[in-house]
Amino acid sequence: MRRWAVQIVYLAITAFVIFYVVQALGEREYGFGFLNQPAGFDIGNQWLVDFDGTTSSRLTLFFVGVWSTVRVVAVVIALSTVLGVIVGVARLSPSWLLSKTAMLFVELFRNTPLYVQVVIWYAIGLFGLPTIQNVVNIGNFLFLSNRGVALPWPHEQGGFWGGADWMVGVWVGVLVIGGAVALKVRKRLQNQEQATGQTRYPNRIAMGMFAGIAVVSFFLLGMPVYVDRPIIEGTNYAEGMAVRPEFAALTLGLTVYTGAFIAEIVRASIQALPKGQTEAANAIGLSNYQRLTLIILPQALRQMIPSITNQYLNANKNSSIALGVSYFDLFFVANIISNKIGHAVEIFFMIIVTYTVLSLSISLVMNIANSRITARDKEDGTRTSGLRQRLIYALRSRVPMGETS
């Protein structure tokens, strides 16, 4: 009876809240027709998009902001993962200086507000770097100033055979197919290596195969891509690709902040493994690199993924602080639209839906990766125990069959 009473009270409160919200918002009109009207203003930090604030719609402007958020989050996820693994492993290093330096990095960036870090990085970029008049020029190939970093960037062209610009798409397709073939060959060589104990060099062969496919197809298609070198026009960069201070500050701040948390996840996951596994790897004479890549990290990965997924989701949501450094992400752009024309309810509904879709997409990818790793570990377990299987594979990779160590 008490359980039913609690549920009835909960439903009553929920109904009252919904009724109150509907009544409070019921006097105004709702709709998304305003999104089809011209934006009437322009934004910066554009990359791979063609946006004109005077003619493009507000919906187009919003999607430009979404793209700006996606590229920041994608770069942050990649860089913070690499940084987190390196720092996490360094925390367990027998070197006192290295381990303490890694600990200082984690404690400093993990316990400092993210917004403060991003603003500091932005201030360093604006006031710590030389002006565009005193730009740092590295061989007319790279420029560095408080306007950002200008880098060479590939650009499509007709090539030797005078083909269409879309030939670059053909070359990208060839690269994708070549990468898939190289991965398939790598997997097959690894299986042969595991079965026979003979060294097959799967990584070297796969990388060489992919490089060969890329180079041969590049020339056969008439060199459909050329490198566009940056130049300086007045007080701005032209041509090439410019990494603006706003993008750099936001990316750097999110990377070190997220990387500090990932480092602790990596450290804890490695320390959670039984010490006997490390001792077994040492007993067969594996190097530190082999022990880490063949024994430790593959087993710790299954424990890392759920926690690392949470950090990826946090990075996605934390990117909304871009407003603090004037980077035009989806939250900043949506706020500009709302401030100019109102429709705050519709705008914030779009913000909530967009962040939800991005977070669910990240979760989907990580869940698929987690499922594949779990399935692979179970498959290893059907043949033999996970540790024994990895030790046998590592030992065979180190000592070819028929030879003695």
Residue 353 scores a pLDDT above 90:
yes
Could you tell me if 222 and 44 are in contact, meaning their C-beta atoms sit under 8 angstroms apart? no
Per-residue pLDDT, averaged over 105-114, amounts to 93
**49/79: higher pLDDT:** 79
Residue 399 is predicted with a pLDDT of: 47
Per-residue pLDDT tens for 214-267?
A: 999 888 887 788 788 888 887 788 777 888 888 999 999 999 999 999 999 999
pTM score of the predicted model? 0.80
Check pLDDT > 70 for residue 26.
no
**In the predicted model, is pLDDT for residue 403 greater than 50?**
no
Distance CA 258, CA 107 (A): 12
Query: From CA 387, how far away is CA 393, in angstroms rounded?
Result: 10
Q: How confident is the model at residue 168 (pLDDT cuts 50, 70, 90)?
A: confident
Is the pLDDT score of 384 beyond 50?
no
Per-residue pLDDT tens digits for 283-334 = 777 777 777 777 788 888 888 888 999 999 999 999 999 888 888 888 888 8
CATH class of the domain at 33-104+247-398: mainly alpha
Confidence bin at 50 (pLDDT 50/70/90): low
Q: Are 102 and 229 in contact (CB under 8 A)?
A: no
Residue 395's pLDDT is 53
Buried residues in 66-92 as b, exposed as e (16+ CB within 10 A): bbbbbbbbeebbebbbebbbebbbbbe
pLDDT band for position 383 (cuts 50, 70, 90): very low
d(CA 151, CA 138): 10
Which of the given ranges, 104-108, 284-288, 335-339, has the highest pLDDT on average?
A: 104-108
The residue extents of the domains of the chain are: 33-104+247-398
CA contacts within 13 A on the Cβ side of 222: 15
Confidence of residue 125 (pLDDT cuts 50, 70, 90): confident
CA separation for the pair 47, 377 (Å, rounded): 41
Distance, in Å, from the CA atom of 5 to the CA atom of 3, rounded to the nearest integer, reads 5
Query: pLDDT tens digits, residue range 171-194?
Result: 889 999 999 999 999 888 878 876
The pLDDT assigned to 35 comes to 76
More confident residue, 189 or 198: 189
The three-class DSSP label of residue 156 is strand
Please, what sign has the CA dihedral across residues 380, 278, 307, 95? Answer: negative
What average pLDDT does the segment 44-63 reach? 74
